[in-house]
């Protein structure tokens, strides 16, 4: 019911009445913050959920806490854990290989994990970390799981992006994606990776919408999570001042659950970017012909992914 929700809506309210029994969801970055709340609510709706996390011990603790806190409403067998480090393409490949080796369907892929860093860091494969973790890791993961997702249709892919995309430093030609030729800006690089999350969702719809796969991107709001953990100490007072005005994770996961489950979003239409469970404004570049396709191609080259039909 588009329009029935707003910024006060909680994830549980967004998922009310949704029956996900027999559906399997994978949530990346699921051991804390928005991802963990997303797992909790999808499981409450009846889904089987895989928590895809880089630190198995943190994931185990989070899973146990979730089950204990659910007061019997979440069957433990419905939630499993799998290791996935998006900063390593080898880890992404190993994760996807294990998923595709089993016959299990994938109805929902929630690309939620993310980092927000003040300085230039690199992934194991030499990519600037926002590009590598927030976009390329999820890009490769999604492509490697796509056949299974298409076989499981109707299916959805939800990219947790951010309104920080309005500060992106991307041009039409996608110049210097890896921040080698420019003065580095953590914030603009983060914003660029989040714009890539939106462009990627758009291109997924263009290529696979007819196959029953709908892809969305969203801004969760400004949410009380650990996202700012890497920011310098002098940012702490700013965070403390803002904290009371931020959404709790109960509301921070609402738009993710909405994009993943709302019946009216079964097929992706023109609007694929949401905030507060409602359509949200996107940067101009997102509407420019060819950019999303170019990003797809460039990303495939960067991660060394050859698509069917290429030799
Ligand atoms: N909080 C906000 O205000 C806000 C606003 C706009 C958008 N977002 C987006 O919301 C998403 C969730 O963030 P959050 O706010 O919930 O932050 P968070 O509490 O810091 O959670 C981030 C999650 O991502 C995981 N992660 C980080 N690097 C990873 C890697 N290399 N491989 C696999 N997982 C990795 C973290 O795992 P570890 O715990 O093991 O590090 C954690 O589970 C992100 O995409 C973020 O950009 C958040």
Question: What amino acid positions are annotated as catalytic residues?
Answer: 190
Quote the pLDDT of residue 20: 98
Distance from the CA of 32 to the center of ligand 1, in angstroms? 8
Quote the pLDDT of residue 4: 86
Quote the pLDDT of residue 196: 98
Decide if 6 is inside a domain: no
Domain that includes residue 283, residue range: 11-303
Rounded to a whole number of angstroms, the distance between the first and last alpha carbons of the chain is 45
Decide if 207 is inside a domain: yes
Q: C-alpha angle 155/12/158, rounded to 5°?
A: 30
Q: At what angle do helices 291-303 and 138-151 cross, to 10 degrees?
A: 100
The finding on whether 227 has its CB within 6 A of some atom of ligand 1 is: yes
Decide if 270 is inside a domain: yes
Contact 153, 213 (CB under 8 A): yes
Decide if 200 is inside a domain: yes
Decide if 2 is inside a domain: no
Decide if 3 is inside a domain: no
- φ, ψ dihedrals at 50, nearest 5°: -100, 120
Question: Which is the closest atom of ligand 1 to the Cα of 34?
Answer: 16
Structure confidence by residue, pLDDT tens digits, 55-94 = 999 999 999 999 999 999 999 999 999 999 999 999 999 9
Decide if 1 is inside a domain: no
The strands making up 108-111's β-sheet, listed across from edge to edge, are 79-83, 48-53, 24-28, 108-111, 155-160, 213-219, 273-275, 278-279
Question: Which is the closest atom of ligand 1 to the Cα of 123?
Answer: 31
Distance from the CA of 310 to the center of ligand 1, in angstroms? 34
Q: Sign of the CA dihedral 87, 89, 90, 93?
A: positive
Report which protein residue has its CA nearest ligand 1's atom 44: 114
The finding on whether 136 has its CB within 6 A of some atom of ligand 1 is: no
The finding on whether 245 has its CB within 6 A of some atom of ligand 1 is: no
Quote the pLDDT of residue 306: 86
Regions of the chain with pLDDT less than 50 = 1
Decide if 249 is inside a domain: yes
Contact 104, 120 (CB under 8 A): no
Rounded Cα gap, residues 170 and 231, in angstroms: 23
Q: What is the CATH number of the domain that holds 282?
A: 3.40.50.720
Residue 277 forms beta bridges with which residues? Answer: none
> What's the number of domains the chain is made of?
1
Quote the pLDDT of residue 309: 62
- DSSP class of residue 247 equals B
User: Ligand 1 pocket check: which of 29, 164, 246 to mutate, most ligand atoms within 8 Å of Cβ?
Assistant: 29
Structure confidence by residue, pLDDT tens digits, 128-159 = 999 999 999 999 999 999 999 999 999 999 99
Q: Where are the alpha helices (DSSP H) in the chain?
A: 11-14, 33-44, 56-69, 89-101, 129, 138-151, 186-208, 236-242, 249-252, 254-261, 291-303
Q: Give how far the C-alpha of residue 241 lies from the chain's centroid of Cα atoms, to the nearest Å.
A: 27
């Amino acid at each position: 019911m588009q329009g029935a929700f707003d910024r006060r809506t909680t994830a549980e309210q967004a998922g009310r009445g949704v029956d996900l029994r027999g559906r399997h969801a994978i949530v990346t970055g699921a051991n804390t913050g928005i991802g963990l709340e997303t797992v909790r609510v999808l499981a409450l709706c009846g889904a089987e959920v895989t928590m895809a996390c880089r630190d198995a011990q943190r994931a185990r603790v989070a899973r146990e806490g979730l089950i204990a806190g659910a007061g019997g409403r979440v069957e433990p067998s419905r939630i499993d854990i799998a290791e996935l480090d998006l900063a390593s393409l080898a880890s992404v490949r190993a994760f996807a290989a294990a998923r595709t080796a089993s016959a299990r369907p994938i109805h929902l892929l929630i690309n939620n994990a993310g980092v927000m860093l003040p300085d230039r860091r690199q992934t194991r494969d030499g990519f600037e970390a926002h590009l590598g973790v927030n976009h390329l890791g999820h890009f490769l993961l999604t492509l490697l799981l796509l056949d299974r997702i298409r076989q499981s249709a109707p299916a959805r892919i939800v990219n947790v992006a951010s309104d920080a995309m309005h500060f992106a430093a991307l041009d039409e030609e996608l110049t210097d994606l890896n921040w080698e030729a420019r003065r580095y800006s953590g914030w603009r690089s983060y914003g660029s990776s989040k714009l890539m999350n939106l462009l990627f969702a758009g291109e997924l719809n263009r290529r696979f919408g007819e196959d029953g796969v709908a892809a969305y991107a969203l801004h969760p709001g400004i949410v009380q999570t650990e996202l700012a953990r890497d920011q310098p100490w002098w940012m702490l007072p700013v965070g403390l001042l803002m904290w009371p005005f931020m959404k709790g994770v109960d509301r921070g996961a609402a738009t993710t659950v909405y994009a993943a489950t709302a019946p009216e979003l079964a097929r992706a239409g023109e609007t694929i970017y949401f905030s507060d469970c409602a359509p949200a404004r996107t940067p101009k570049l997102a509407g420019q012909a060819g950019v999303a396709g170019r990003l797809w191609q460039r990303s495939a080259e960067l991660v060394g992914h050859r698509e069917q039909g290429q030799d």
